[in-house]
Structure 1
Amino acid sequence: MANLSGWLLASDIDGTALIEEIGVPPQNIEAVRRFIGEGGRFTFATGRSRESAYRVCRDFAVNAPMVVLNGSCVMDPQSGEFLIEHPMPPEIREATGEVLERMDRDHAVMLVTADKYWGVSRSAFGQRLCQRVLQTPICGIYDVKETIYKVLVISETPQEVPAMRQKLGEWYERDFTVVQSGETCVELLPKGVSKGSTLLEAAALIGVDRERIAAIGDNENDLEMLRVAALSAAPGSADEFVRRRVQKVLCPCMDGALAQLIEYLEEQTKE
């Protein structure tokens, strides 16, 4: 029997543990519950907001602090309470105004708080894209009174993203973390914040050493998490630049990549 006591397994959600438009591979849920039964601690590290991540964690019986909002917060999986927070600095509203001036005609711009996406685009194009992508309300930058954790910039097609990512990096990487979080999305996060940095903070809360962290992800925003893990993996369906940077490339997401990683860990820790 495997002994996974002391291990923390962190998984990205979208494109790694599940694909929302298709569903959850049942073997993933079964394997996670087995992993926990063998003494392991399982969590998600996701770009999703608190409310969106909380819906998924119940199905997987998450038993370790969750990294949400791409590393801006650590959340208790039972209560939904934030245990660690890395909010955007006050000057984020001014910076968002600059993003609107530079990009709003061809992109949608959103401010993200704990549970909500706020469309702040001024152009008709940006507002339509906000409403089409996330059905989010449109408001002014200074109308958002809640704590802001990240800024989301969305293009209409994936083909536009490399140029958008490059421009945002050139303009803002000195003051913020700039990361692609989906095929049409680039985010501004607090400087120095990533899934990797915050996963280490979450692990420390439960006394797990870096040498006992395993992680699986599929996109650019997972790279820092994969880098800090002792065992890193990616689904076979992950972006190629992610697959080149991990120790193990597994089957595609919907074939049960997460379950396959757990099976590998079980094999390595058999007593």
Structure 2
Amino acid sequence: MDLSGILLVSDLDGTLIGENFVVPQRNLDAIARFQQEGGSFAIATGRSILSGGHYAELTHPKGPCICLNGTILYDYTQQKMLWDCHLDQRTAAEYIQRLYDRFPTAGIEYFCIKTIHILRRSAYVTEHLNHEGVSWKEGPPIDPAQPWYKALFADDPEKKDAMEAFSATFPHPGVRFVSSSENYLEMLPEQASKGNALVKAAELAGFRMENVYAIGDYYNDTELLEAAGVSVVPENAPDDLKEQADLVVGHCYQGAVADLIEEIERRHR
């Protein structure tokens, strides 16, 4: 079977990663087979390059990978940045301060290229840092030459929803606010999305969009799914995303990505 010319891009949390933050062996076996058959696998994640790298070591992606929700394209094979966009520090700091003052229980993080900076710690921030498994520092970044790629606000679901609603009450040129889980709201550069990054990745690597499959489970994957030639969600995705997708596969705990690869193989026999 020849799957050359096909790019499969997968979200990590809730999609590739299963229960207890472990990738099901079915997924790993299927990805290895898919790439042996000529296909190219890549990840698309809100995680940083270093955090995503833990899963790149397991899957050995050949395609350009999307990190920090579309602010970075990274080649894990060559260990190099392919493209990036970042926040304007002056305006980003103003918007962060607004949410900091309005929502005193929200945990707040800044993401730079290799480090997470903690503006305000909370139980959700501590949990998130444990999942990321990368270095972090207390206090905001102080080096003006160090780009800020995104900010993350973490709180209970109803407070996260309130933060998202509040962000719509004031103009914020240059940035966009995106819900990435029931507890996390992210501030990204206005031009950043997994979808925009996917289009750029396909252009850089020479893939036709009709041969690009994308799978994701949450609303920060919406643009990724819209941009792909074939959009796929796992069973654990919200119902409205399932209605919009071209294909629904099994639950992430049981190996949703393996299900998709088996479908790709059926289509291209």
Amino acid at match of 1:100: Y
Count of residues in correspondence between the two structures = 263
Q: Which residue of 2 aligns with 1:93?
A: 93
Displacement of 1:102 in angstroms is 2.2
Mark the runs of 5 or more structure 2 residues left unpaired by the alignment: 131-135
Distance 1:132-1:211 versus aligned 2 partners, 3 A rule: closer
Amino acid at match of 2:158: Q
Distance 1:197-1:100 versus aligned 2 partners, 3 A rule: same
Distance 1:22-1:55 versus aligned 2 partners, 3 A rule: closer
Task: Report if the CA contact (8 A) 1:110-1:153 is conserved.
Answer: yes
Q: Which residue of 1 aligns with 2:133?
A: none
* CA–CA separation in structure 1 for the residues paired with 2:171 and 2:187: 8
SS of the aligned residue for 1:53 comes to helix
Task: Report if the CA contact (8 A) 1:93-1:142 is conserved.
Answer: no
Write the deviation string for residues 219-255 of structure 1: whole angstroms up to 9, x where unpaired: 1110000001111111101122322221111110011
Equivalent residue runs for 1:1-271 within 5 Å: 1=1, 3-19=2-18, 21-91=20-90, 92-103=92-103, 105-121=104-120, 126=121, 130-131=125-126, 133-134=128-129, 136-140=136-140, 142=142, 146-155=146-155, 157-171=156-170, 174-270=173-269
Q: CA RMSD in A?
A: 2.0
Write the deviation string for residues 46-92 of structure 1: whole angstroms up to 9, x where unpaired: 00001000111110121111000000000111243211010111322
Distance 1:158-1:264 versus aligned 2 partners, 3 A rule: same
SS of the aligned residue for 1:237 comes to coil
Task: Report if the CA contact (8 A) 2:105-2:122 is conserved.
Answer: no
Amino acid at match of 1:97: Q
Mark the runs of 5 or more structure 1 residues left unpaired by the alignment: none
Give the TM-score of the pair, scaled to structure 2.
Answer: 0.91
Distance 1:79-1:93 versus aligned 2 partners, 3 A rule: farther
Task: Report if the CA contact (8 A) 1:127-1:138 is conserved.
Answer: no
* CA–CA separation in structure 2 for the residues paired with 1:32 and 1:130: 31
Write the deviation string for residues 183-237 of structure 1: whole angstroms up to 9, x where unpaired: 2101010002100001111111110111111000001110000001111111101
Task: Report if the CA contact (8 A) 2:99-2:163 is conserved.
Answer: no
Give the TM-score of the pair, scaled to structure 1.
Answer: 0.90
SS of the aligned residue for 2:226 comes to helix
Displacement of 1:143 in angstroms is 6.1
SS of the aligned residue for 1:137 comes to strand
